[in-house]
Amino acid sequence: MVKAGDRLPTYAADLAEAVAEHRNEIVLLLNRTIKAGETNPILKPHVLQDELKRVAEECKAPTLLESAFAKQLEWCQEAVVYDGCVAFSLRPTVGKYFHCRICVGSMQVDDLTVSEYLRFKEKLVNGKRDPTEEFWQLEIDLEPFNAHFPKLTRPNSIGEGVKFLNRHLSSRLFASNNADFHMIFDFLLTLSYNGQSLMLNERIKSAQEMGSALDKADRLLKKYECDTPIEEVAVKLQDMGFERGWGNTVGRTQNTMHLLADIMQACDPETLQAFLGRLPMGFKVVILSPHGFFGQQNVLGKPDTGGQVVYILDQVRALEREMLARIRQQGLTGVEPQILVVTRLIPEAQGTTCDQRMEHISGTHHSRILRVPFRDESGILQHWVSRFDVWPYLERFAVDAGGEIRAELGGRPDLIIGNYSDGNLVASLLSFHLNVTQCTIAHALEKTKYPDADINWEKLDEDYHFAAQFTADVIAMNHSDFIITSTFQEIAGTQDTVGQYEDHQSFTMPGLYRIVHGIDVFDPKFNIVSPGADSDIYFSYDQEERRLTSLHREIEELLFGKEEAPLAKGVLKEPNKPIIFSMARLDHVKNLTGLAEWFGQNKRLRKLCNLVLVGGIVDPDNTTDREEKEQCIKMHKIIEEYGLQGELRWLVAQKNPVLNGEIYRYVADTRGAFVQPALYEAFGLTVVEAMSCGLPTFATICGGPAEIVVDKKSGFSIDPYHGNEAAETMANFFEESAKNPDSWLEVSRGSLARVQEKYTWTLYADRLMTLNRIYSFWKYVSDLERRETRRYLQMFYILMMRPLIAKVQKQQAEERARKEAA
Ligand code: UDP
Ligand code: LCN
């Protein structure tokens, strides 16, 4: 804190100056903020903005809106009100924060450090408890560990970590003037397959010797035609110290060797990436997704089983194709890629295959699902448990799965990919113990979905166990060698909104710990690699010859049939109208109930279209999931309240993707649209699916869909917090499309073009395989420096995560005992 007499650091000084310009109005604004803080002491930006407008109007001071203070308020992500003071968290640009506090009585402005800001915020929970207590709260600060690692500097380059890393590595190699080449040489020596060396053998003893051996090999290879199969020269190359892996033909081998020779001469990022990208490695991949029902049929739409399963299965197919193509190009024989998706085995499998230990993944040759049960002291856990409740089982799962993975793969994997918080925690444990490259994929970080869940963690802990989850997330994102995200916003948000990872930069859970530096969005470990939609299932409605017309009777029965509970609710009275379609898990955040409400309230829209919703269950007694039940009951209420029975049809979760693909297209035939109304959506596969079918899409601006859809070109962005406006936008679109069918076609074509350009699995697999090679090399060369972070994280895990897990376990045991007693 700035003490009396100190010169004010820039920010507080700027703010004090800005306040002085409009002192009267700002005092009024701050007093109102303090008043508003009595109901909710953590104020979101829109509340402050709205208040600012009101004050400017009431005081007849329009210049206030243009003032320096108003500009600074635009940066505000949150204001905390306590004891007559307002503390602001200001974010002038992505990933950069200032904190300051104004005490309204004296109008004193102070700069705060992150730690001071969080301590001030903690007072909301701790009140005026012993003030010395705040000094004993554990503070986690990962910044010093990463201080000597290279960092991106421009917000525009966030998510392009690999590009930056290549530049860094190549300039390091270039600057070292050959001194660092032993790193490449040593790394090449580590490459092998089932004990068989690749690329180099023991005949080459040093980086220098490698240089002259490359010249010798070049002289030999020049004597052959480029397309000569490598088998014809393999023995001669071996004598020179080169094993298989350089290429399948003389030409490709020569080319790979030239890349290495060029790197040794004068390294540049493109050549380095091209060379590393060709290395024969990453043959054994483990993908972890412990929770939920992970299967290939009958699983989608269950409370925890959505896009992650679809994503992984598509990812596996694309990765295997890419791995096979690379193995072919590397000229390797007898090498087979292996991908293991490791999940939990659920004995009470509810009509799925989740009780089978091993399952082949269709559409692949070498990929399998391996299921390992959750166990505790009373044996194998028989039933499904929510993703929020899995924490007590994960350590044991990691040990059991680790053993089974090694047995199945005949050794340790080359790459471990974690999915979601639980998978990423297990991936961290395994990669720590096996020293394997770790990739993190969050899919969704719950902290963003549940605003203020950090400060209120104690209230929510019984239902959600967020303390364990957020701790797991911080550990995994820091432990991981590289992180893949589907969009930019997942890392660093937008100019106005905070990204999901960025949200872990600093936060506090009073009484537990305070994170003053949890993650840096400028870290080069972040890479945007967007998924796609399976092009065999999700293709355009106008590809007539591919259409699955044999499914139309079933679809018509679903959409327009008379069957109701327990499989459906509502029967459409006017089936000829265009359909507004939405499909999601029946979660609060997915907001299907919100969409039903917007529709109910907009007479114009109701006249123009029917609403078809696919989600969850229709009978609330058919679920054990708390949120699903609550949303189901709410949906029934909305249907009653607005009298929607003849205009809305609500179907239970549809678990067959092939049928769903044809449903999207059928809806397109009606000149309908897809709506993704979520209050927050991390990415939103349904948006890509609908767009791939040529269905105009209205998608939430909160989260990933804002990046997928280009507003008014390839769809429409809607604000779920302004449902009326969203409904109006839809009504305008349908009105226009009824008058001018070309307007519908234009948006449909825009959607198709957008997904083809940006969201395909082929692009994804190529990128991921290249990233694996580059980050594995980086892990190898920076291993020693990283050990500090890993040790710090290990301590955090043992001293914080384990007690949190024990707490969840205790809560669950008490709940079981309560239920049994009742
Ligand atoms: N899905 C489905 N049936 C349903 C609900 C959803 O097949 O009743 C599928 C949907 O087609 C998509 C995935 O589940 O492939 C949902 O992914 P998304 O990213 O939209 O959301 P998530 O459920 O992962 O949060
Ligand atoms: C989880 C989510 O919440 C979705 O937004 C994503 O699309 C899905 O995973 C796949 O990554």
The structure tokens listed for 9 are 């650091």
Alpha carbon distances (Å) from 445 to 423, 685, 701, 703, 768: 12, 16, 17, 11, 21
Residue 148: pLDDT band (50, 70, 90) is confident
Per-residue pLDDT averaged across 723-732, rounded? 98
What is the Cα–Cα distance from 35 to 30, expressed in whole angstroms? 9
Measured at the CA of 711, the angle between CA 706 and CA 713, to 5 degrees, comes to 130
Percent of the chain at pLDDT above 70? 98
Per-residue model confidence as pLDDT tens digits over 348-403? 999 999 999 999 999 999 999 999 999 999 999 999 999 999 999 999 999 999 99
Question: In this structure, which ligand is nearest to the CA of 590?
Answer: 1
Q: Are 80 and 68 in contact (CB under 8 A)?
A: no
Residue 428 has pLDDT above 90, yes or no: yes
Which helix (H) or strand (E) is 228 found in, with range? none
For residue 364, what pLDDT is reported? 98
Q: Which of 536, 667, 574, 682 is nearest to 614 (CA)?
A: 667
Helix 466-479 to helix 457-464 angle (10° resolution) is: 90
| CB contact at 8 A, 336 and 350 | no
CA 703 to mean position of chain CA atoms: 10
Q: Separation of 653 CA from ligand 1 center, angstroms?
A: 9
Report the distance separating Cα 23 and Cα 644, nearest Å.
Answer: 52
Pocket test residue of 289, 299, 300 for ligand 1, highest count of atoms within 8 A of CB: 300
Question: And the tokens for 771?
Answer: 């990233």
What confidence tens digit (pLDDT) does each residue in 124-142 have?
A: 998 866 777 778 899 999 9
Evaluated on CA atoms 238, 243, 248, 254, the torsion sign reads negative
Query: What DSSP letter does each residue of 580-611 carry, written as one string?
Result: EEEE----TTT-HHHHHHHHHH-HHHHHH-EE
Q: Ligand 1 pocket by C-beta < 6 Å: which residues?
A: 300-301, 306-308, 310, 583-585, 614-615, 653-655, 657, 660, 683-686, 689
Check the CA dihedral 413-414-418-424 and report its sign: positive
Q: How many residues does the chain have?
A: 822
Q: Residue 486 CA: which ligand 2 atom is closest?
A: 11
Distance of alpha carbon 639 from alpha carbon 631, whole angstroms = 12
Atom 4 in ligand 1: which residue has the minimum CA distance? 301
Q: Are strands 482-485 and 507-509 parallel, antiparallel or unpaired?
A: unpaired
Query: Is residue 1's pLDDT more than 50?
Result: no
Nearest atom, ligand 2, residue 703 CA? 5
The answer to whether the beta carbons of residues 504 and 477 sit under 8 Å apart is: yes
Question: Which has the closest alpha carbon to 698: 741, 658, 667, 659?
Answer: 667
What is the structure's pLDDT at 736? 98
Whether 2 shows a pLDDT value over 70: the answer reads no
Strand-pair category, 76-82 with 85-93: antiparallel
pLDDT at 318 over 70: yes
* Helix 466-479, helix 420-434: angle, nearest 10: 50
Would the pLDDT of 13 be above 90? no
Residue owning the nearest CA to atom 11 of ligand 1? 686
Q: With 80 as the cut, is the pLDDT of residue 501 above it?
A: yes
Ligand 1, atom 8, lies closest to the CA of 653
Cα(682)–Cα(703) distance, integer angstroms? 5
For residue 376, report the distance from its CA to the centre of ligand 2, in Å. 30
**What integer pLDDT is reported at residue 559 of this predicted model?**
98
The ligand 2 atom nearest the CA atom of 310: 10
Ligand 1 centroid to Cα of residue 296, in Å, is 13
Ligand nearest to the CA of 689: 1
Ligand number with the minimum distance to the CA of 581: 1
Read off the amino acid at residue 663: I
Which position has the token pair 């078809």?
A: 612
Residues with CB under 6 A from ligand 2: 307-308, 311, 443-444, 486, 681-685
Contact (CB, 8 A) for 253 and 230:
yes
Q: What is the mean pLDDT of residues 14-38?
A: 93
Contact between 238 and 199 (Cβ < 8 Å): no
The rounded distance, in Å, linking the Cα atoms of 470 and 453 is 10
**181 has pLDDT over 90:** no
Angle at 518 (CA atoms; ends 516, 521), nearest 5 degrees: 120
Mean pLDDT of 547-562: 98
User: What percentage of the chain's residues is helix, strand, coil (to nearest 5)?
Assistant: 50, 15, 35
Handedness of CA 673, 679, 685, 688 (dihedral sign): positive
**Residue 220's pLDDT is what?**
98
Half-sphere exposure for 808 (CA within 13 Å, toward CB):
23
Can you read off the two tokens belonging to residue 272? 């380095």
Question: Residue 782: pLDDT band by 50, 70, 90 thresholds?
Answer: confident
Q: Measure 144 CA to ligand 1 centroid, in angstroms.
A: 40
- 84: tokens are 């007559």
Q: Which atom of ligand 1 is nearest to the CA of 652?
A: 8
Mean predicted confidence (pLDDT) in 743-770: 96
**378: CA distance to ligand 2 center in Å?**
34
The pLDDT assigned to 4 comes to: 40
Q: How many CB atoms lie within 10 A of CB 103?
A: 15
Q: How many other β-carbons are positioned within 10 Å of the β-carbon of residue 448?
A: 25
Task: Give the pLDDT confidence score for residue 182 in this predicted structure.
Answer: 86
**Quick one: tokens of 358?**
């091993």
Going from the Cα of 171 to the center of ligand 2, the distance in angstroms, rounded, reads 37
**Of 30, 35, 79, whose CA–CA distance to 52 is shortest?**
30
Within 10 Å of residue 792's Cβ, how many Cβ atoms? 16
Distance 561 CA to ligand 1 centre (A): 23
Alpha helix (H) residue ranges in 450-573: 457-464, 466-479, 488-492, 552-560
| Lookup result for tokens 């009585």 | 105
* Position 406, amino acid: R
- What's the average model confidence in pLDDT over 564-579? 97
CA–CA gap between residue 114 and residue 119 (Å, rounded):
9
At 31, phi and psi to the nearest 5? -65, -40
DSSP-assigned states of every residue in 295-316: -SSS-TTBTTBSHHHHHHHHHH
Whether the per-residue pLDDT at 455 is higher than 90: the answer is yes
For ligand 1, the distance from its centroid to the CA atom of residue 338, given in whole angstroms, is: 27
CA distance 138 to 140: 7
Give the single-character DSSP code of 3: P
CA distance 41 to 727: 32
- Residue 566, preceding peptide bond in cis (omega within 30° of 0): yes
What's the CA gap between 318 and 325, in Å, rounded?
Answer: 11
Is residue 593 within 8 Å of residue 611, measured between CB atoms? no
Q: How far is CA 161 from the centre of its chain?
A: 16
* Token digits of residue 572: 């459409």
| pLDDT for the residue numbered 5 | 41
What's the one-letter identity of residue 455?
Answer: I
- Its pTM surpasses 0.90: yes
Q: How far is the CA of 314 from the centre of ligand 2 (A)?
A: 13
Atom 11 of ligand 2, nearest CA residue: 443
Q: To test ligand 1's pocket by mutation, which of 685, 695, 697, 761 has the most ligand atoms within 8 angstroms of CB?
A: 685
Cβ–Cβ contacts within 10 Å for residue 206, how many? 11
Express as a percent the part of the chain with pLDDT over 90: 92
* Cβ proximity of 698 and 675 under 8 Å: yes
CA 822 – CA 816 distance, rounded (Å): 10
Residue 655 per-residue DSSP state:
-
Orientation angle between helical segments 741-758 and 685-692, nearest 10 degrees: 120
Side chain identity at residue 600, one-letter code = G
Using the mean position of ligand 2's atoms as its centre, give its distance from the Cα of residue 512 in Å.
29
pLDDT at 555: 98
Mean pLDDT of all residues in 217-233: 98
- The ligand placed nearest to the CA atom of residue 613 is 1
Question: pLDDT of 580-639, one tens digit each?
Answer: 999 999 999 999 999 999 999 999 999 999 999 999 999 999 998 999 999 999 999 999
Helix (H, G, I), strand (E, B) or coil at 202: coil
What's the mean pLDDT when you consider all of the chain? Answer: 95
Question: Residue 9: its pLDDT value, please?
Answer: 54
Please name the residue whose Cα sits nearest to atom 8 of ligand 2. Answer: 307
Work out the pLDDT band at 191, boundaries 50, 70, 90: very high
DSSP per-residue letters across 639-653:
HHHHT-TTTEEEE--
Who's near 302: CB < 8 A, 6+ residues apart? Answer: 292, 293, 384, 585, 653
CA 251 distance to own-chain centroid: 40
623 and 339 Cβ atoms separated by less than 8 Å: no
Question: Average of pLDDT values for 271-289?
Answer: 97
Cα(340) to ligand 2 centroid in Å equals: 21
Tell me the Ramachandran region of residue 663: left when phi exceeds 0, alpha when psi lies from -120 to 50, beta otherwise: alpha
Q: What are phi and psi of 2, to 5 degrees?
A: -80, 125
pLDDT at 483 over 50: yes
